[in-house]
Amino acid sequence: MKRFFGFVKKEFLHIFRDFRTLIILFGIPASQILIFGFVISTDIENAGIAFLDLSKDEISTGISDRICSSGFFSRTADLAGYEEADRVMKSGRAKAVIIFPAGFGREFLSGRQTTISIIADGSEPNTATLITSYASAIISDFNREYTAPGMTAPLPVQPEVRMFYNPGLKSHYMFVPGVITLILILICALMTSITIAREKEFGTMEVLLVSPLKPSQIIIGKVMPYFFLSFINVIVILLLSWLVFDLPVRGSLALLLAETMLYIMMSLSLGILISTFTANMQQAIFISLIGLMLPTILLSGFIFPIENMPKIYDVLSSVLPPRYFIVIIKNLMIKGKSFSYVWKETLILTLMTIVFLGISIRNFKIRLE
């Protein structure tokens, strides 16, 4: 046992001695949280808009000024003719062109039906949808104000809405759980698989195996430092999300941390598993980084909701551990629920850990024999 602790200590020193590595280890979660918090947003701000105003009257300039002063848009070009629309969008200067037909103001004031066309750049579908709906809303407001005051009447049905769990509609509620999930699986699986693959590549694994340490002790000793590092990382992320984004843990913190440990263990087992079938570090890196990064970001429901995907992805993503962990964090952290809401996910993650470890042990034994 004493030997084992000596070994663990050596592994710890190995990582903590390298200052640069440490900075990066803690820099990764911090910078990701900050990037997601401040950069990644699907809202529109100052989107470039071009106007083709063939009427140039009080009403048309009134509407275009209103659009530009909303904060969502900024006027990047005034076009002289229809044929310029293509050019201004192809060069990316404008995301949409708003067209007022000739005689627009006159028709508008006379109460006749008028038409404003919005041509949006569909190459970015989400932006295009948002731009057209925002612009339409502004134009509708303008319309309503021009309606004679006595003519307005309450609408027959008036819906009220309550936004549950996230009344401020902040995007942090999505990405904090996502970032924790992503960072833990990548760091744990990547680091574990590389460390073990390194020993294999340099032949030092053989040296360790002939030592009096048991193979299981060697593996535990190797992954232990990463377990602690990841755990500290989680705490850093939770603190940041609380202090910077005002997003506290609403449920039981102890339960959340316990679930996190389970997830870390699962990720470490995945790393061990990867290392049993890769021959060198380069392969391990390739599989754990390129193989895990995109699927984790894209299929786990982190940025893109699984419900929106074609049905088959419900099945596909069910083999991805991050999917379950995201549900767990959302329930414990944001919804403030108890264990009874996450027992299924917890069970699945536990089973995955056992399966990964089981296969690893089998692969490992085969190699030794």
Partner 1 sequence: MRTILFLIRKEFLQIFRDRMIGKAIFAVPLVQMLILVPAVTFEIREVKLCIIDMDMTSESRKLIGQLEGSTFFRVSHSTFSENEARNLLDKNRYDLILRIPGGFGRDIGNRNPAAIHASINAINATTAQLSWAYLNGVIHDYNLNIIADNPGSIATAGIIPRTEITNRFWYNENLVYSHYMLPGILAILVTAIGFLLAGLNLVKEKEAGTIEQINVTPIRKHQFITGKMVPFIIIGLFDLALGLALGKLVFRIPFEGSIGLFFLCAAIFMISVLGIALFISNFSSSQQQFMFVAYFFMMILILMSGIFTPFESMPSWAIKFNMANPMAYLIRINRMIMLKGSGFRDIYRDIASLAVLAVIFTAFAVRRYRKTA
Q: Which of residues 308-347 bind partner 1 (CB under 8 A)?
A: 308-310, 313, 316-317, 327, 330, 334-335, 337, 341
Q: What is the distance between the alpha carbons of residues 138 and 118, in angstroms, rounded to a whole number? A: 13
Binding mask 134-173 for partner 1 (x = CB under 8 A): -xx--xx--xx-xxx--xxxxxxxxxxxxxxxxx-xxx-x
Total of residues contacting partner 1 (CB under 8 A): 121
CB of 196 to partner 1, least distance (A): 12
- The answer to whether 24 contacts partner 1 (rule: CB under 8 A) is yes
User: At 300, is the secondary structure helix, strand, or coil?
Assistant: coil
Q: Which is nearer to partner 1, 123 or 211 (CB)?
A: 123
Task: Write the CB contacts of 71 (distance below 8 Å, at least 6 apart in sequence).
Answer: 45, 46
Q: What is the distance between the alpha carbons of residues 57 and 100, in angstroms, rounded to a whole number? A: 10
Q: Which is nearer to partner 1, 1 or 155 (CB)?
A: 155
Alpha carbon 107 to chain centroid, angstroms = 48
CB of 234 to partner 1, least distance (A): 17
- The answer to whether 252 contacts partner 1 (rule: CB under 8 A) is no
Q: Which is nearer to partner 1, 135 or 265 (CB)?
A: 135
Stretch near partner 1 under the rule CB under 8 A, chosen from 188-196, 207-215, 219-227, 352-360: 188-196
* Angstrom distances, CA of residue 369 to CA of 176, 267, 362, 366: 45, 27, 11, 5
CB of 156 to partner 1, least distance (A): 5
- The answer to whether 286 contacts partner 1 (rule: CB under 8 A) is yes
> 77, 50 in Cβ contact below 8 A?
yes
First to last CA, the chain: 26
Binding mask 32-61 for partner 1 (x = CB under 8 A): x--xx-xxxxxxxxxxx-------------
Stretch near partner 1 under the rule CB under 8 A, chosen from 23-31, 216-224, 246-254, 356-364: 23-31
User: At 3, is the secondary structure helix, strand, or coil?
Assistant: helix
Q: Which is nearer to partner 1, 192 or 353 (CB)?
A: 192
Q: Which is nearer to partner 1, 42 or 350 (CB)?
A: 42
CB of 309 to partner 1, least distance (A): 5
What six digits make up the tokens of 340? 């009874």
Binding residue for partner 1 (CB under 8 A) from 61, 217, 252, 280? 280
Shortest CA distance to 70 belongs to which of 45, 50, 95? 45
Maximum alpha-carbon separation in the chain: 95
Stretch near partner 1 under the rule CB under 8 A, chosen from 116-124, 204-212, 218-226, 355-363: 116-124
Backbone torsion region of residue 165, taken as left when φ is above 0, otherwise alpha when ψ lies between -120 and 50, otherwise beta: left
Q: Which is nearer to partner 1, 71 or 358 (CB)?
A: 71
Q: What is the distance between the alpha carbons of residues 264 and 258, in angstroms, rounded to a whole number? A: 10
User: At 42, is the secondary structure helix, strand, or coil?
Assistant: coil
Q: Which is nearer to partner 1, 33 or 357 (CB)?
A: 33
Alpha carbon 231 to chain centroid, angstroms = 20
User: At 340, is the secondary structure helix, strand, or coil?
Assistant: helix
CB of 8 to partner 1, least distance (A): 18
Gyration radius of the chain's alpha carbons = 28
Stretch near partner 1 under the rule CB under 8 A, chosen from 88-96, 235-243, 267-275, 351-359: 88-96
Binding residue for partner 1 (CB under 8 A) from 80, 290, 319, 347? 290
